[in-house]
Amino acid sequence: MRMFITGGAGFIGSNFVHYMLREHPEDQIINADSLTYAGNLENLRAVEQQPNYRFARVDITDREALRPLFEQGIDAVVNFAAESHVDRSILEPDVFVRTNILGTQTLLDLAKEYKVRKFVQVSTDEVYGTLGDTGLFSETTPLAANSPYSASKAGADLLVRAYHETFGLPVNITRCSNNYGPYQFPEKLIPLMIQNALADKQLPVYGDGLNVRDWLYVEDHCSAIDLVIRKGENGEVYNVGGNNERNNLQVVRTILQELGKPESLITYVTDRPGHDRRYAIDATKIRAELGWQPKYVYESGIVETIRWYLSNPEWMEQVKSGGYRDYYEKQYGER
Ligand code: NAD
């Protein structure tokens, strides 16, 4: 199978490239990524010479630059490319609409024109909005996005659905909960807190720290997408999650404990506007229909993840330079 992956230099995309090259060495992978601040080819250093892997620097909104890649014949498209950080979407929503909506529509058009056999849209549980203290998101929960990020992802999901209903494009949408694992850009909760704790800097926690997320080890997300590509019924949405609800304070305390740092480093900062209180996924459908099973347990997965960041200080240093620093200072000030 020749696979066209977008956003493969980001956190989940790069883990997916590693996963696929290991699990399906017979497949070919084209990784198309424009290398925004979040795209990092260091994540792919170990595989860049493999004959069945190819990188192309291209923006998913640039139809004519994408066309020659599709002309080579593509079996499946997996669209990871996105602006992915909620805080940034509050500061500058435009680029979220451009990449997440227009970019997805451009890929859908090309997938239709070149008759790809599968188009998988990697979406998020955030399109469902927020939950109260109880309940779970199922695939039939109405979309109720609350941030410009989740609204742009919901817009893309509807376009993907429309290309199936209107043009018969063989699509699937996956909606996964929060991922953790190696190669995550340190603006996101877990690597941000690890990095600050290591430097004895304050750990900025939004609001009361009790917002709940349903954490899944990134490789379990990759195995779910792999199953959807091969076995997903066209037109269907699959929720992906591991039933690991933790509030932000619990996550931060685990990191501090593991690194032997004091809880006095925690500092509460003004809550994010429109901050969703709780996400939790019902993944019964993908488990029952496709036989998906997560392999990792949160308690050991989080410790493994912390250790990965500890044993890759050069990666952290390289990533901390440039755009990320500017953004961090704008968001939290110099702490
Ligand atoms: P990321 O920000 O780490 O990576 C995004 C990648 O997309 C980067 O490599 C970036 O260079 C690339 N990109 C951005 N704009 C582009 C453009 N216009 N053209 C080409 N490439 C572009 O994001 P991530 O956390 O790896 O998330 C990947 C996907 O998974 C996203 O679609 C996100 O919505 C979804 N998702 C993420 C999570 C999570 O917990 N991180 C959970 C569920 C779903």
The CB of 220 under 6 Å from ligand 1? The reply is: no
Mean pLDDT of the chain: 95
Distance CA 99, CA 95 (A): 6
- Residues noted as catalytic: 125-126, 149
CATH class of 189-212+245-274+301-330: alpha beta
Residue 80 alpha carbon to ligand 1 centre in Å: 5
pLDDT of residue 125: 98
Average pLDDT over residues 67-78: 98
The strands making up 171-176's β-sheet, listed across from edge to edge, are: 53-57, 28-33, 2-6, 76-79, 118-124, 171-176, 237-240
Nearest CA to ligand 1 atom 10: 39
The CATH class of the 2-180+215-240 domain is alpha beta
Look at residue 332 in the predicted model and tell me its pLDDT: 67
Q: Is 108 in the pocket of ligand 1 (CB under 6 A)?
A: no
Q: Is 190 in the pocket of ligand 1 (CB under 6 A)?
A: no
Work out the number of other CB atoms within 10 angstroms of the CB of residue 140: 9
pLDDT value at residue 323: 60
Q: How close is the Cα of 210 to the center of ligand 1, in Å?
A: 25
pLDDT score at 320: 79
Residue among 31, 36, 100, 123 whose CB has most ligand 1 atoms within 8 A, to mutate: 36
Q: Where are the domains of the chain?
A: 2-180+215-240, 189-212+245-274+301-330
Q: Whose CA is nearest to atom 44 of ligand 1?
A: 124
> How far does residue 260's CA lie from ligand 1's centre (Å)?
32
Residue corresponding to tokens 């250093």: 45
Judge whether 2-180+215-240 and 189-212+245-274+301-330 match in fold.
Answer: no
Residue 334 has pLDDT above 70, yes or no: no
Determine contact, residues 265/196, Cβ cutoff 8 Å: yes
Q: Which of 80, 152, 160 has the most ligand 1 atoms within 8 A of CB, as the residue to mutate?
A: 80
Per-residue pLDDT averaged across 139-168, rounded?
98
Average confidence (pLDDT) over 252-267: 97
- The pTM (predicted TM-score) of the whole model is 0.96
**Residue 317: per-residue pLDDT:** 87
In this prediction, residue 306 carries a pLDDT of 96
- For residue 244, which phi and psi values (nearest 5 degrees)? -125, 70
